[in-house]
Amino acid sequence: MSNTYSQIHIQVVFAVQDRVSLISPTWKDRLYKYITTIIQNHGHKVLQINGMPDHIHILIGLRPTQALSILIKEVKQYSSKWINESGFVIGKFSWQSGYGAFSYSKAQVPMIVKYIQNQEEHHRESTFLEEYKGLLKDFEIDFQHEYLFKPIL
């Protein structure tokens, strides 16, 4: 796109189906690299990626050449397929439908990078749902509790 200049920073958050803690420390770094490659292959930049066994955070420098919804659909689709083909879980792995997407200014990026890097520490004090509801409230996004991520089974 000639003469198109942008600076779009989006934090994307999504969860494992039924919020089951399936992402193992033994293969999570490979998962993050795989997801990073998917995003980079579309011309976007991964600024930070991390998560917990039941969910993931990705801070993306998004180019305006692709809709975020299409990118995240592909990230979830291809990473689920990769996890299943790699045999990392018993049964079938999938991500829950939906995701959260939150935009930030350039000045906020270092704070969000640190926040994503420190997920383990952060979740000693709050659950994923508390964190997610907090993001929705901070960004003044209306939501209905029954449509949030499915509860842990």
CA distance 51 to 95: 13
Instruction: Report CA Rg, the chain.
Output: 15
CA distance 39 to 146: 30
CA 23 to chain centre: 13
The H-or-E segment that residue 35 falls in is: helix 28-41
Among left, alpha and beta (phi > 0; psi -120 to 50; other), residue 26 is alpha
CA 19 to chain centre: 13
Q: Identify the pLDDT of residue 75.
A: 98
Residues 63-111 pLDDT 10s: 999 999 999 999 999 999 999 999 999 999 999 999 999 999 999 999 9
Kindly tell me if the per-residue pLDDT of 120 is higher than 80: yes
Domains and CATH numbers, the chain: 8-147 (3.30.70.1290)
CA distance 95 to 127: 18
AA letter at 91: G
Percent of the chain with pLDDT over 70: 94
Residues 128-151 pLDDT 10s: 888 888 898 989 998 877 767 665
Whether the CB-CB separation of 90 and 42 falls below 8 Å is answered with: no
Residues 2-33 pLDDT 10s: 678 899 999 999 999 988 899 999 999 999 99
